[in-house]
Amino acid sequence: MQALAVLILIAGLDPEPPPSVKAADIPDDRGGVIEISWTRSLSDTTGNINNVWGYRIFRIQAHTFDTQFLGFRDRWSDLVFTDSTAVDGTVYVYCVQTKSSTGVSDLTYSKPVKSRSSFFRARRLAVALAVLAGVLVFIFSKEKTSDFFKKKAIGDSICWAMEKGKIVMVILSYENPSSRKGVSRTLTDLKWIAEKVISAKGEIRVLTPGYLQGAATGIFREIFMKEGRLQDFNPLWIRRTWSGGVSYSDEATRLISKWKPGIVMITGEPGVWTFQPLNKILSLGGKIVGIKTDLHFLPAVLSSGIRIENISGALSEVFSPGPVNKKYCWAIIFFISVSLGYLLLCWMLMGTDGLDPILSLRNFLPFLKAVP
C-alpha cells in the first residue's frame, strides 16, 4: 500500500515551468528567423523526483491565436531554439513547457515579437562603409600625405644645413627622357627645394644631366627674379655632365669635395654610381636625403657599407619595388582585394552562409583542415 501511495504521489507531481522565456528577432538578417531562449526549470536538477526529459517549444500567432508545436529540446541541450519559419511582420508569442516522466508543466510565455528582414545587415553595412571611406581617404590622400611628410623632412634637413652655414647640393639623377612624368616630377622637386633655399637666402648647387640643364637654369632664374635678386644668380651653380655611370659619379664626387655641402639631395632613381659620392659626403659629415632604391639595388647599398639610416630621406621611398616585382606585388594585392571584397559582401548580405564555398575548400586542401 505504501509503494502504491508513493507512485500515486509521484504521478501527481508535474514539473515546474521554466522561470522565464525570451524571444527576439535576430538583428540585421534576411528575415524569417526568431531566437527563443529560456531559463532552466527548478525541477530540472540531478536526482529530482520528476526526472525531467526536456522542453517543448510552441508558437502562438497573436491575432488568430493559432498554436503550433515547433520542437523539443532535451535537458542536455542548450536552452535555445531558433524558429526559422516565422513570417516577417507577423506578431508571435512563444511559450515553453517542461516535459518530465510525470507529465508536463504549465506554459511560460514570451513577450510578443516579430521578425524583420534587412537586405543589408545594418551594423555590418556601417562597418563596410567605414572601411570603404577609410580606403578612399587613403587612396586620394596617399600622395598628398606622402608629399607632406617628405617635404617636412627635407625642409628640416635644409634648415639644419643653413643653420650650419652649409651649402645645399642637389644631384638630379638620370631619368628616362621619354618618361615625361618622371622628368616633370624631378623638376617639380628641384623647384620646391630651390624656392626653400633661395627664399631663406641660403646657397644651393645642382649637378644635372645635360638634357635638364636648361630647365634647371630656367627654374633658378625664375625664382631669383621673383625674389628680386636676379643679380645674385650665378649660372655656374648649375653644373652638368652629358654622360652617366662612372663619369657622373666622378663629377658628383669632385663637386662634393669642392663645395663641401652640408646636405646632398638625390632625386629620381640612382644606381650603383651613387656609392662614391655618397661615401664622400658621409666622410665630410654631411647628410643624405632623397635616395630611392629598388629590390636589386638594396643589397648593393647594404654591401657598400652605407648604413641604412643614412639613406632614408625626404623625396623618396626606401625599398621601393622594381618594375618586375611591382607586377607581382600588384597581382597579389589584386587577389587579396578581390577576396576581401567577396568576404565583405557575403558578410553584409548572407553572414557566414556566404563563406560555405571557401570553407568547402578544406576538403580539397589538407593544410586548411586545421582551420576552425
Higher pLDDT, 141 or 57: 57
Model confidence at 72, pLDDT cuts 50, 70, 90, reads very high
Instruction: Write out pLDDT tens, residues 266-290.
Output: 776 666 777 788 788 878 888 777 6
218 falls in which pLDDT band (50, 70, 90)?
A: very high
Whether 94 contacts 110, CB under 8 Å? yes
User: Which residues, 6+ apart, have CB-to-CB distance to 115 below 8 Å?
Assistant: 25, 26, 31, 32, 33, 34, 86, 87, 88, 89, 90
Give pLDDT tens digits for 343-357: 666 666 655 555 555
Residue 89 clears pLDDT 80, i.e. is over it: yes
pLDDT computed for residue 9 by the predictor: 44
Confidence class for position 176, pLDDT limits 50, 70, 90 = low
Q: For residues 217 and 167, what is the distance between their CA atoms, to the nearest angstrom?
A: 18
pLDDT of residue 363: 55
- CA separation (Å) from 320 to 142, 154, 192? 15, 19, 23
Which residue has better confidence, 359 or 55? 55
Give DSSP secondary structure letters for 315-343: SS-TT---HHHHHHHHHHHHHHHHHHHHH
Q: Which has more confidence, 144 or 126?
A: 126
The whole-number pLDDT of residue 276 equals 82
Angle between helices 122-163 and 180-199 (to 10 degrees): 50
Q: What percent of the chain has a predicted confidence (pLDDT) above 90?
A: 20
- Cα 250 from Cα 219, distance rounded (Å): 25
pTM greater than 0.85 (yes/no): no
Residue 350 has what pLDDT? 58
Instruction: Tell me what pLDDT residue 6 has.
Output: 42
Q: Are 297 and 266 in contact (CB under 8 A)?
A: no
Q: What is the pLDDT of residue 210?
A: 86
pLDDT at 126: 61
Higher pLDDT, 90 or 297: 90
pLDDT at position 313 is 39
pLDDT category at 341 given cuts 50, 70, 90 is confident
Average pLDDT, the chain: 75
Place 68 in a pLDDT band, splitting at 50, 70 and 90: very high
Band (319; pLDDT cuts 50, 70, 90):
very low
Report the percentage of the chain scoring pLDDT > 70: 63
Residue 34 pLDDT:
92
Of the listed ranges 36-45, 89-98, 242-251, the least confidently predicted one is 242-251
Beta bridge partners of 267: 172
Predicted confidence at residue 142, as pLDDT, reads: 53
Residues found in the chain:
372
